[in-house]
Amino acid sequence: MATVTAAVTLTSAVGDLLTDALSLSDSTSVTATHTTGLARTKIDKTAVHNDADIIYTAAAYAAPAYLYVKNTQATATHYIYLYDDTTSGDPVLLKLAGGDWAFMPINAGLTLKAYGSSGNHVLEHMVFGTSA
């Protein structure tokens, strides 16, 4: 087992976003019993598609599981969309601009797929499972 720590800090100067300064910091530690390993996937579909790249397959791990994703594109308008292929209508869960990233708990019973705003994006991703 390995412990993975994720942290985020949000700051903004007085008057920029709020009348007061913003300073928030939080972290969580996840005891991961297994992982998909860090992968980089070329996202070549530009819409929901049967052959879209699978980022996580439903029930590969028991809940809870955690997902790390990063759009490696340098241009902010080069989006990668992560969607739920298990639910009717294929709802988009994340819209990552170039350089954006996320670390979040996921519903381990969903299949997650990705497509991009053009066919030449790279998504960095990893799933951390907390139980087999």
Tell me which residue range forms the domain holding 109: 31-129
Q: What is the pLDDT of residue 131?
A: 73
20: in domain: no
In a domain, 18, yes or no: no
- Beta carbons within 8 Å of 53's beta carbon, 6+ residues apart: 41, 42, 43, 44, 45, 113, 114, 115, 123
Q: Is the pLDDT of residue 132 over 70?
A: no
Residue range 75-118, pLDDT digits in tens? 999 999 999 999 999 999 999 999 999 999 999 899 999 999 98
Pairing of strands 112-116, 2-12: unpaired
Q: Report if residue 1 sits inside a domain.
A: no
Q: What is the pLDDT of residues 72-85, one digit of tens each?
A: 999 999 999 999 99
Question: Which pTM value belongs to this model?
Answer: 0.89
Query: How many structural domains is the chain composed of?
Result: 1
